[in-house]
Homo-oligomer: A and B are copies of this chain.
Amino acid sequence: MQIGLIGLGKMGGNMRERIRLAGHTVTGYDRNPEVSDVSSLAELVEKLEAPRVVWVMVPAGAATQSVVDELGGLLESGDTVVDGGNSRWTDDEKHAEELAAKGIGFVDAGVSGGVWGLQNGYALMVGGDKEHVERLLPIFEALKPEGPYGYVHAGKVGAGHFSKMVHNGIEYAMMQAYAEGWELLEKVDSVTDVREVFRSWQEGTVIRSWLLDLAVNALDEDEHLERLRGFAQDSGEGRWTVEAAIDNSVPLPAITASLFARFASRQDDSPQMKMIAALRNQFGGHAVESKE
């Protein structure tokens, strides 16, 4: 089938290739003319036969909103827009309503796979009305990994991004789990080869996983991670997961601890720990470390 794909960055570019390899026709648009197949969104829409399918793969927030707005003006009733970016699930309903007013369908798709997706396939979590989702099935089939897993129609509009968001929240805590264990093992003297302990865990243990395999890869490149700084970014979904938990009165202690550990990792100095030091000094006369 035919599909338009907007956003040809690291993710979008690889997805275009994987869809084409499955035999579909992809017309890609990107602001960067070197990778773009067309010179404007208008040209992209023109090139597609109605009813059109357009997959949006641009940064969440303002960029996605702007593309959705522009597509609302270019597309026709019966067309379908898929937001495959990392949008917050609360944006999906707004986008769906905005487009529905013009008869345009909307599907949200959470996409997991990172740099491995081109080769292994992308896991897809999809939200939207059945009629819109079903039009997309050949594309989902092309993108997803082989085998029975890696695709789910999770529910209504927003359910795809919500599921992907929770996936990332879980990912935060799993990464934190391995990271905490690794630090503790590295700290004690009796364990003399932590990398080999991690490597051995790849079979027969309760904690074997793809993330564990990646940890072993990382340790093979740099046994004690001495070339890295302990500085971890976060990309939004972890924050949204905690916010969704608060909205729903669900306690998420491990996921939240993992998010906060990242926040702390990015501070040169901790203001709250200055206050702790100041208070200890006030009541106990404890020495403080000063800036010089």
Residues of chain A touching chain B, judged by Cβ–Cβ distance below 8 Å, are 10, 89, 112-117, 120-125, 127, 144-145, 147-159, 162-163, 166-193, 196-197, 199-212, 214-215, 217-219, 222, 225-233, 239, 241-246, 248-267, 269-286, 288-291
Chain B residue, CB-CB nearest to A151: B200
Q: Which of B184, B214, B245, B257 contacts A283 (CB 8 A)?
A: B214
Give chain B nearest CB distance to A236 CB in angstroms.
Answer: 10
Chain B residue, CB-CB nearest to A217: B282
User: With A155-B190, A182-B272, A289-B229 in contact, is A256–B264 under 8 Å at CB?
Assistant: no
A265 touches B257 (CB 8 A): no
User: With A190-B156, A192-B155, A202-B149 in contact, is A230–B273 under 8 Å at CB?
Assistant: yes
A244 touches B184 (CB 8 A): yes
- The residue among A144, A157, A227, A260 with the most chain B CB atoms within 10 A of its own CB is A260
What are 10 A-B contacts with C-beta separation under 8 Å?
A: A125-B200, A154-B193, A155-B192, A181-B255, A187-B250, A215-B282, A232-B280, A250-B263, A253-B253, A261-B276
B253 touches A203 (CB 8 A): no
Give chain B nearest CB distance to A254 CB in angstroms.
Answer: 4
B178 touches A170 (CB 8 A): yes
Q: How far is the CA of A180 from the CA of B202 in the complex (A)?
A: 24
User: With A232-B277, A286-B233 in contact, is A162–B149 under 8 Å at CB?
Assistant: no
A218 touches B273 (CB 8 A): no
Give chain B nearest CB distance to A143 CB in angstroms.
Answer: 9
User: With A155-B191, A215-B275 in contact, is A204–B291 under 8 Å at CB?
Assistant: no
Q: Which of B182, B184, B265, B285 contacts A115 (CB 8 A)?
A: B285
Please, which residues of chain B bring their CB within 8 A of the CB of A200? 123-125, 149-152
